[in-house]
Structure 1
Amino acid sequence: MKKKISLGFGMLFFLIIFPLVGWLIYMLIAAPERICSTELRVSVLIILWLIGLLGAFIVKMSRQNKMLEENNRQLAELDRLKTEFLANVSHELRTPLTVIIGYSELLAERLSKEEGDATNLKCIQTVHRKSEDLLLLINDLIDFSRIESGKLEMKISRVQLEEIVNETVEEFATSIVKKGHKVEVVHKDTPLWLYADRGKVKQIIANLLHNAIKYTPSGGHITIRTYTLKGYCRLEVEDNGIGISEDQITQIYQPFKQADSSYNKKYEGFGLGLAITKSLVRGHQGKIEVRSQLGKGSLFIVSLPREKTI
């Protein structure tokens, strides 16, 4: 910004003041008899006035630059405080929530063995399920705050992509059965080795699979593919769900954005999953893209460098 302003001042000087000074010097040397004392005085006054005007403009712009710098500093500080607030609140909420989940799970196991407590068992199961949903939201907030603050740690090792995919799909078995989805897993090239953070890669797969299950109506079809292409391990997660409109595709990676971001939205969540996923993919020097049609489903494609040290 400062360089652009300095360049502007320089151009103003050469375009206005320098030609006048040059003309005055030329006339004094080449034709002094043509310049009377009045003309000389007027020329000098004009030059001095322009220099003064330029100086005042410089002072004004310097003040505005200082104000902008101070505003930027305050905004950066507010952003830092927001990130710290999210991290602190998330951590404070996660501890008691973990206890609630543990005790509700224990009560559900005890009630399931007793007769005549179907209603109580259903209530406890609901508490446990909603507590797990809340824990997922809190974990998203924690991950997002770490990414925002640049504190996300990567533990790189040699991992096998298809092994992580199979493990993640198995963990989502209950959710898949509950919605009656058919999930097809296709590994075209094996083994698919890459240097990456195993936990972060699993989180990428889990976020994409979670979205596919979430935004695909009951009885839908989800396909997960892995293969190699031009030095990359490729992961595809395709569904025949609600899809994404063209104007919404540009916003899906923005934090706290969803395909349906209205207050009374049908689908729960903060809208952080894809923002976190994109950051994790970039952290592995990879790429993510989406192809989607409203009402026809979505295809997410993740490309991670194959056996390349980060």
Structure 2
Amino acid sequence: MEQALKILIIDNDKTNRLAIQRSLKPIVPLLELTEVNSRKKAISLLKQKSFNCVFLGYLLSDADGLTLLKELQNMGIQTPFIVLTPSKNQEITQEFIKSGAWDYILESMISPDTLLKTLKNSLRIYKAEKALTLSNQKLRKNNEILKQKNKELKQQQEQINLKNLQLQEASRRQSQFLATISHELRTPMNAIMGFSQLLLRQYPDPLTPQQVDIVQRIFNNSQNLLSLINEVLDLSKLNTDQMDLKVEEFDLGVLLQFTIEELSSLRSHKNLSLEVDIDLKNPLIINDKNFLRRIIINLLSNAIKFTPAGSVKVKVWEIDAETIAISVEDTGVGIAEEDLETIFTPFQQVDQTLTRQHSGTGLGLAIVDSLIKMMQGEIHVSSELGKGSVFRVEIPRCLSSNLS
């Protein structure tokens, strides 16, 4: 080093100052070493004089080294700072580095070799930083040119945002329209179903077999239509954020058994076997009961619908203390691998033709996916054409009430 190396030591620990002094003098012939032990003296000195490097201790006579480092950084002092940190205290070291220190040396590791290596690294980095600063100045000039172009892009972006807002408003109005229509259709549909059920009771006068068949068809078709209307209404509520979580404690086993009984008529017509495996050490969970019931209904009715023969199995178990899993497995028609990515898309069905065998809006799985996400859960599906499908739902056992 041809020029004198100007070093400043800021530390209240006399032992550290002496150790640095004794270590530097043999390896740096031209050395200007200055020592201070307080924040006040350090600030005053750094305002008047520049140094090649500053060694900064953790404790000063009137402050701590971390506070001083932050203050010097705010003042714009660019000198490389090497901090002296207590042994095996990573938290202090990390705080110094975050606050702008260039490097650190453990107090117990102060030696000529360590100091020389650290000094060289810091000075080399400092030189590179200065070169980078010059490059940045050139870049700033180029940035001025880019700013003008950015203004033009910003104007274009604003136009795109305006179009997006218009599209969002159109989508909101469409969802609101669907919700209104669905709500208006439900009232007469419920009335049709109610009157159909009254007629099927055959009181006070019995019906002929032909009349019973006709009324039963009216009831069944009304029930199917009501199910479709409810799906459209649910989707519109989800799209307009009108569906809220209602967190409560309930027995998952009881809910599952009750829901399966509701759907027993669907499988009985097809002579499908239905297995239920509930393996829960604790059946009580805290989540949205109605959401979970709707999820089970949709998955189970889908499994029954797309299984012409064979079996459907529902399984519930605990993945761990905090997570519950529910799977619905069938031996039905299955889903092709290329269709698995789209089955949760609204209005999307694997068979989109008008002559498809299975009716529906294609909203069931989209609604299930949205509800599960609101419950902070996940849904996974595996399937093979001709062999069946497995839908697995994972939800938290306890969902915080502040999410509702």
TM-score normalised by length of structure 1 = 0.80
Q: State the Cα distance separating 1:189 from its structure 2 match.
A: 2.2
Find out whether 1:210 has 2:305 as its counterpart: no
Answer 1 or 2: higher relative contact order, Cα 8 Å, separation at least 6. 1
Contact 2:287 2:397 in 1 (8 A): no
2:198 aligned to which of 106, 113, 118: 106
C-alpha separation in 2, matches of 1:205 and 1:237: 8
C-alpha separation in 1, matches of 2:199 and 2:383: 43
C-alpha separation in 2, matches of 1:14 and 1:145: 54
Residue in 2 that maps onto 1:174: 265
Q: Which residues in structure 2 correspond to 1:148-297 (within 5 Å)?
A: 148-217=239-308, 219-230=309-320, 231-297=322-388
Q: State the Cα distance separating 1:268 from its structure 2 match.
A: 0.6
Contact 1:193 1:307 in 2 (8 A): no
C-alpha separation in 2, matches of 1:287 and 1:54: 44
C-alpha separation in 1, matches of 2:176 and 2:252: 33
AA in 2 matched with 1:118: P
Q: Which residues in structure 2 correspond to 1:99-138 (within 5 Å)?
A: 99-110=191-202, 114=206, 117-138=208-229
Please report the RMSD computed on the Cα atoms of aligned residues, expressed in angstroms.
Answer: 2.4
C-alpha separation in 1, matches of 2:368 and 2:380: 11
Q: State the Cα distance separating 1:64 from its structure 2 match.
A: 1.6
Q: Which residues in structure 2 correspond to 1:139-154 (within 5 Å)?
A: 139-154=230-245
C-alpha separation in 2, matches of 1:81 and 1:136: 23
Residue in 2 that maps onto 1:33: none
Q: C-alpha offsets along residues 182-219 of structure 1, whole Å, 9 cap, x if unaligned?
A: 000011224322111111111111111000000001x3
Q: State the Cα distance separating 1:264 from its structure 2 match.
A: 2.1
C-alpha separation in 1, matches of 2:228 and 2:351: 17
Find out whether 1:66 has 2:181 as its counterpart: no
Residue in 2 that maps onto 1:91: 183
Change (3 A) 1:227 1:54: closer
Change (3 A) 1:18 1:179: closer
C-alpha separation in 1, matches of 2:235 and 2:200: 32
Contact 1:222 1:237 in 2 (8 A): yes
Moved more, 129-138 or 159-168: 159-168
Contact 1:162 1:191 in 2 (8 A): no
Change (3 A) 1:18 1:97: closer
Q: C-alpha offsets along residues 221-262 of structure 1, whole Å, 9 cap, x if unaligned?
A: 011111101221111110000011111000010001122122
Change (3 A) 1:76 1:308: closer
Q: State the Cα distance separating 1:220 from its structure 2 match.
A: 1.8
Contact 2:335 2:383 in 1 (8 A): yes
C-alpha separation in 2, matches of 1:77 and 1:308: 32
C-alpha separation in 2, matches of 1:59 and 1:163: 62
Structure 2 residue runs of 5 or longer lacking an equivalent are 1-136
C-alpha separation in 2, matches of 1:149 and 1:54: 38
Change (3 A) 1:111 1:125: farther
C-alpha separation in 1, matches of 2:352 and 2:251: 36
C-alpha separation in 2, matches of 1:276 and 1:222: 21
C-alpha separation in 2, matches of 1:59 and 1:303: 47
SS in structure 2 at match of 1:61: helix
AA in 2 matched with 1:226: V
C-alpha separation in 2, matches of 1:240 and 1:172: 18
Q: C-alpha offsets along residues 85-140 of structure 1, whole Å, 9 cap, x if unaligned?
A: 1101100111111111111111222279626x111211111011000000001111
Contact 2:375 2:399 in 1 (8 A): no
C-alpha separation in 2, matches of 1:259 and 1:68: 33
Contact 1:112 1:121 in 2 (8 A): no
C-alpha separation in 2, matches of 1:284 and 1:66: 35
Change (3 A) 1:309 1:59: closer
Q: Which residues in structure 2 correspond to 1:21-100 (within 5 Å)?
A: 55=148, 57-58=149-150, 60-100=152-192
Q: Report how many residues are paired.
A: 265
